[in-house]
Amino acid sequence: MTGKELPDTSYVFTFHGRDILMKNGKLPRLADFPDRENFSGLYVGKLDGFPCCGIPFPADHTWEVQPLRAVIHELDDAAVFAICRAKEMTFWRNRRKFCGACGTALKDSETDMARFCPECGERFYPQIAPAVITAVLKDDKILLAHNRNFTSGVFSLIAGFVESGESLEQAVAREIMEEVSIKVKNIRYYSSQPWPFPNSLMLGFVAEYDSGEVKPDGVELETAGWYSADDLPKLPDHGSIARKIIDDFIANRLRKI
């Protein structure tokens, strides 16, 4: 959509890698952009009744760039949803430029969130990468692990992407076996969270320990072990589904799921 089609109060989201552009600590509005005539953005929905759109990162900006993770931890669910949607949509659009069937340049659909080929008619929709994240419980303890990609000293839950052809429960069991060599049982769904780094949907689960000895794979995980609620290592930041699940473990709520 162009600047002429949008009201000044429209939210404008622009990203640079894992960062988001902010103005004075707030989400930018269209009125903050001086060059309205040349403005063009990808419409991604509404926030608080105002249109939202995503735009390419402006090279000549004078505002502050903030880590997206830190920003979404401070916002309410509606704002987080809008930002995650904008991040994923702009990421997908920037990488889905040509038809995979005939190579023709794609165009944006005017009826739904898709791109279509004007030559052969093929349509392409945003891709979402589902991933499972699981709290494994054993008596009064929870399994936590340190991944090589984590911030130093931070421990979290076992997580991994769902593979083609498997159910979510199968993905839970496989990831846990691959990463820590134990079997689990009584797998049940907890909650979900969009995670735009770059296009994941985190699906949370709770499972019970069944058998085996915890052995980190040494590839992704450096160390893993059982922790009680009163003796926990450094945890992920608030705002992530991992931290939400762990907080429910601390409050003794996971057994009720």
pLDDT (tens digit per residue) in 106-132:
999 988 889 999 999 999 999 999 999
In a domain, 229, yes or no: yes
* Higher per-residue confidence, 187 vs 91: 187
Share of the chain above pLDDT 90, in %: 72
CATH classification at residue 56: 3.90.79.20
Q: What is the mean pLDDT of residues 191-215?
A: 96
C-alpha–C-alpha distance, residues 46 and 44, integer Å: 7
Q: What is the mean pLDDT of residues 177-196?
A: 97
Length of the chain in terms of residues written? 257
C-alpha–C-alpha distance, residues 135 and 235, integer Å: 13
Domain coverage including residue 73: 3-95
In a domain, 188, yes or no: yes
Q: Among the three residues 110, 127, 144, which one is the final residue of a domain in this structure?
A: 127
Burial class (CB in 10 A: 0-12, 13-18, 19+), 20: buried
The pLDDT, as a whole number, for residue 143 is: 99
| pLDDT of 89 above 70 | yes
The pLDDT, as a whole number, for residue 6 is: 83
**Dihedral, 111, 116, 119, 122 alpha carbons, nearest 10:** -110
In a domain, 257, yes or no: no
Same domain, 51 and 155: no
Structural domains counted in the chain: 3
In a domain, 113, yes or no: yes
In a domain, 181, yes or no: yes
In a domain, 256, yes or no: no
* Higher per-residue confidence, 17 vs 133: 133
Residue whose tokens read 């009720």: 256
HEC string of the chain equals CEHHHCCCCCEEECEECCEEEEECCECCEHHHCCCCCCCECEEEEEECCEEEEECCCCCCCCCEEEEHHHHHCCCCHHHHHHHHHHHHHHHHHHHCCECCCCCCECEECCCCCCEECCCCCCEECCCCEEEEEEEEEECCEEEEEEECCCCCCECECEEEECCCCCCHHHHHHHHHHHHHCCEEEEEEEEEEEEECCCCEEEEEEEEEEEECCCCCCCCCEEEEEEEECCCCCECCCCCCHHHHHHHHHHCCCHHHC
